[in-house]
Amino acid sequence: MLSGKRLLLIIGGGIAAYKVLELIRRLRDRGVDVRCVLTKAGAEFVTPLSVAALSENKVYQDLFSLTDESEMGHIRLSREADLVLVAPATANLIAKMAAGIADDLATTALLATDKPVLIAPAMNTHMWQHAATQANVATLIARGITVIGPAAGDLACGEVGSGRLVEVPGLLAALEEAFHQHQPLPSLVGKHAIVTSGPTHEPIDPVRYIANRSSGKQGHAIAAALAAAGMRVTLVSGPTQEPVPAGMDFKPIESAQQMLAAVDAALPADVFVGAAAVADWRVASAADQKLKKGADGPPALVLTENPDILRTVSQHPKRPALVIGFAAETEKVLEHAAAKRVRKGCDWILANDVSPETGTFGGTHSRLFLVTAAGVTPWPHSAKTDAARRLTHAVAEYFSTMRDA
C-alpha cells in the first residue's frame, strides 16, 4: 500500500525525535519516499546527517537557503508530498500552526501545503493538558488535521501521564490509514446511489414539530463522495444547513413519510445509504391550527410509528444490490447495531456513538464501525468527509468483488 507514496516529515524539537529515525527506516523499507524538514529545535536531538542517511534524501532546514529555494522551494516541498506528518509535534509547533504563523521552513511549508496533514504530539503532560494547547488542537482538528495520540506513560521529564509520542508501529498504522483515505476515489461510473440525510421534522401543529439533532453533515458528505466517484446520486434530505453538493438530484423533504415516498420514486438503484436520522414516531393527528395554552395544561400528544425506511428498502421488489444503514446509539453500540442489521435485513450497518459527550451530532468528526455479516471493522476517529471517502472505497470494493465472483 505504501510503496511509491511520498511523505514530507517535519521533525520538531523533543527527546521523542529519536523515534522518528526508526520511523524513517521503516517507511523506507516499505518504499515510501521520505523528505524531511528538521526544525532548529529538532536538530538539538537528532542530526541532519542521521536523518539524511536514513531517508536517503537531502534534509531541509533553512527557509532562506538560496540553494534550496532554487532547487526545491518551500512551495514545491509542501506540494509534492502525498501527506505531511509533524512528529514530534511540540506545543510550540501546534500553537504556531493554529495561529497561522510562518517564521521558519517548517511552519511556512505547513501553511503552504494543500495536502492532508497529520500531527503526532509529544510534550510534558501538563503542557498537553493546558487549556491553550487543547484549544489549539481543537482548532487544528476543526480544520481537518488528523491528530495521532499522544500516548500515556512515563515521560522523559520523569512525570507520568499523556504526552508520549505514539510508538513507531502506531505511527505506521496511522500513516497507512491516512494514505488509504486520501488515495484517489475509485470509479463507480454507471451506477446509481440513493442517499438519505439529515433529520426529519414531524409536525405537531403548523409551527411545532418533533425532530432530532442530526446536522446532515455525514449524509451530505457521503452523497458528495459517491458523486465524485462518478455515481449518479439522488440525495433525499430533511431540513439541514448543509449546502447541497453539486452534481446530484436533490429531493428536499420534511417528514419520514415524505422521505419514504421520495426514496421509492427514486428506485431502482445499485446502492442505498440510509444516513438520515429518521424520527421513529410522529403525532398521530397533527393539529391544523397552532395549539394554545389552556387551563387543562399541555395537550396529550398521541404518537404513532413512522414507516421504517431502511427495512422497506431492504425488502423492496426493486431492492438495491447493496443496502447500507446507520445505527446512532448511546449505549451498547455494537450490540445494538448488529441486532439492527439483522432486524432490518440490510447488508451493512455503520454504527456510531452519538452520546452528547462525543460531539457526533452536529460535529465534523465521528468514529464509525462497519458491521456486516462477516463481523465488525472499526474505522478510525476521523472527519465525516474522510468517513465518506472510506465508505466509497468500500462500496467500490464490494462491486469489484461481485464482478469477479
**Active-site residue flag, 157:** yes
How does the average pLDDT of the chain come out, rounded? Answer: 89
Query: How far apart are alpha carbons 255 and 199 in whole angstroms?
Result: 9
Residue 348 amino acid letter: W
Residues 6+ apart with CB under 8 A from 72: 58, 60
Q: Is 62 annotated as a binding residue?
A: no
Cis bond before residue 206 (omega within 30° of 0) = no
Task: Grade residue 163 by pLDDT with cuts at 50, 70 and 90.
Answer: confident
Q: Is 280 marked as binding a ligand?
A: yes
Q: Across residues 16-45, what is the average pLDDT? A: 93
Q: How far apart are the first and last CA of the chain?
A: 23
68 labeled binding residue: no
Q: What average pLDDT does range 67-78 have in this prediction?
A: 65
Does the annotation flag 179 for ligand binding?
Answer: no
Question: What residue ranges in 183-298 does DSSP mark as E strands?
Answer: 192-197, 202-205, 208-210, 232-237, 249-252, 271-274, 281-283
**Cα angle, residue 177 at apex, residues 175 and 179 outer, rounded to 5°:** 65
Q: Is 290 annotated as a binding residue?
A: yes
Q: Is residue 205 helix, strand or coil?
A: strand
Most confident of 2-6, 99-103, 193-197: 193-197
State the Cα–Cα distance between residues 39 and 72, nearest whole angstrom.
17
Burial profile 172-207: b = 16 or more Cβ within 10 angstroms, e = fewer = bebbebbbebeeebbebeebbbbbbbbbbbbebeee
CA distance 309 to 277: 11
φ, ψ for residue 102, nearest 5 deg: -135, 80
pLDDT digits (tens, 9 = 90+) for 179-211: 876 677 788 999 999 999 999 999 999 999 999
Q: How confident is the model at residue 336 (pLDDT cuts 50, 70, 90)?
A: very high
Residue 307 annotated in ligand binding: yes
Lowest pLDDT segment from 52-56, 83-87, 103-107, 327-331:
327-331
Tell whether the model's pLDDT for residue 20 goes beyond 90.
yes
Could you tell me the pTM of the whole model? 0.65
Cα–Cα distance for residue pair 327/356, rounded to 1 Å: 15
DSSP, res 2 = -
Q: Tell me the pLDDT tens digit for each residue of 345-404.
A: 999 999 988 776 656 566 777 789 999 999 999 887 777 888 898 899 999 999 988 876
Question: Per CATH, which fold does 192-404 belong to?
Answer: Rossmann fold (3.40.50)
Question: Is it true that 6-181 and 192-404 share their CATH fold?
Answer: yes
**342, exposed or middle or buried, with CB in 10 Å at 0-12, 13-18, 19+?**
exposed
Tracing cell 444503514 back to the chain, one arrives at: 325
Q: Nearest-CA neighbor of 256 among 285, 280, 274? A: 280
Q: Identify the active-site residue in 157, 207, 303, 402.
A: 157
Classified as helix, coil or strand, 272 is strand
Give residue 149's pLDDT band: very low, low, confident or very high (50, 70, 90).
confident
C-alpha–C-alpha distance, residues 14 and 153, integer Å? 16
Residue 308 assigned ligand-binding role: yes
| Rounded distance between C-alpha atoms, residue 159 and residue 329, angstroms | 37
Instruction: Show me where the domains of the chain are located.
Output: 6-181, 192-404
Domain 6-181 -> CATH class: alpha beta
Q: Quick check: 66 pLDDT over 60?
A: no
Q: What is the pLDDT of residues 274-331, one digit of tens each?
A: 999 999 999 999 999 999 988 888 888 999 999 999 999 999 999 999 999 999 888 8
